[in-house]
A = this chain, B = another copy of it.
Amino acid sequence: MSVTYAQGFSAAGVVAGVSSVAGKKDMAVVVNEGPLDACAGVFTSNRFCAAPVQWSRSVVADGHITAVVLNSGCANACTGTEGFEQSKASAEEVAKELGIQSQQVAVCSTGLIGELLPLDRVLSGAKEALRQRQSDEQSGIDASEAIMTTDTQPKTVQLDGKGYRVGGMVKGSGMIAPQLATMICVITTDAVVSAGALQAALNSAVDMSFNRIDVDGCMSTNDTVLLLASGASGVEPDPDEFNALVSQACAQLARKIIGDGEGSSHDIRIVVKGAEHEDAALACARSVAASNLLKCAIYGNDPNWGRVVSSLGVVPEDIAQYRPEDVDVVINGVKVCDGGKPGQDRSLVNMSAREVHIDIDLHIGKAETTVWTDDLTHDYVHINADYES
């Protein structure tokens, strides 16, 4: 269902010839048919942010957009003013077709960095996608397929509030790091919500979802999360319920990114508890999640807690207080490290499930947080050594 689960949205995904994979759907549109056109956005903090990010950040700033045009196969990143003109031209083409202003059109691109778009194909693909757009289930699925790159499956969400709906799609599989870990995500709702309330809901949701996952520690130039409200349900939601629903949508999509992390064979949930404050717990969890050595060990079904604590040990004391001799590490329910020393025998740990749970207790406070990552596999290396070819 994806972005068309909420009323008041149409979408399409088409083959435009932008991707180098023949016959792959590579362009999508999502159109907010109204009555509202409220929106919110969160973008990459990478200083080499791509042309479409520069464009979209600017047009989303006033809290109103009507359409999003998206392509895979080319990121239009590090392409200078010419790249920016291409993103602008894409928005203008969509605006012309819809009879709106180009400032009402956001643009998202994903794929290779450092190459300009094949603009003719993008413009004709955008027109074709707009012509084909519908509000049915299949159109939403088509759009979610069109934004895939190394993703092995489309990633969507659909949730129900009291009298309104939230739908969404995301692409992302590699170049996934906190702040912001996604690549491209569009969430739609037919609730009646102001742009300000949307932005607040989105900021909070992103912080607890896309900012808590890490496939490979590499931050993209193109990360974009958009939240669009059509108001088509006519329902003004309870703010707390709405915020929770948006958070749930982002959390489910983030979890699906981890489940589809490039080449991954294990999804690794890292919980750090007993921290003085949440930032300390987060710094510890992220340091563990970033360890190539740990991620290789998990791939080898080895509950190597030495690589957990050696990663914890890199976090400076002024960031996270703890005493090494107090720290426990539990892997899939087995306390392999007890007070900084060997605990139960690591051979007791069952590593056969896809999910691996690493629970770390710092024993110095009450704060807790969760971060997800993937294991580091032969296939990750294969995918990323050969992505160009």
Contacts and interface: CB of A to CB of B under 8 A. Distances in A.
Copies of this chain present in the complex amount to 2
A6 interface: no
Interface stretch (A41-49, A202-210, A274-282): A41-49
Contacts of A324: 47-48, 78
A313 B219 contact: yes
A386 interface: yes
Nearest to A300: B385
A382 interface: yes
Interface residues of A, number: 67
Nearest to A298: B385
B112 A306 contact: yes
Contacts of A80: 325, 339-341
Contact of A384 (B296, B309, B380): B296
Given A174-B293, A341-B78, A388-B302, A307 B113 contact: yes
Q: Which of A116, A220, A296 has the most CB of B within 10 A?
A: A296
Contacts of A78: 305-306, 309, 324, 337, 340-342
Contacts of A378: 378, 381-382
A218 B292 contact: yes
Interface string A371-389: 0000011101111111111
Interface of A: 46-49, 75, 77-80, 82-83, 112-116, 174-175, 177, 216-221, 290-293, 296-297, 299-300, 302, 304-307, 309-315, 317, 324-325, 336-337, 339-342, 376-378, 380-389
Given A80-B325, A80-B341, A296-B380, 20 more contacts: A46-B310, A47-B314, A49-B313, A77-B310, A78-B306, A78-B324, A82-B341, A112-B306, A113-B309, A113-B310, A114-B337, A114-B341, A114-B342, A216-B293, A221-B309, A292-B380, A299-B381, A299-B385, A300-B384, A380-B381
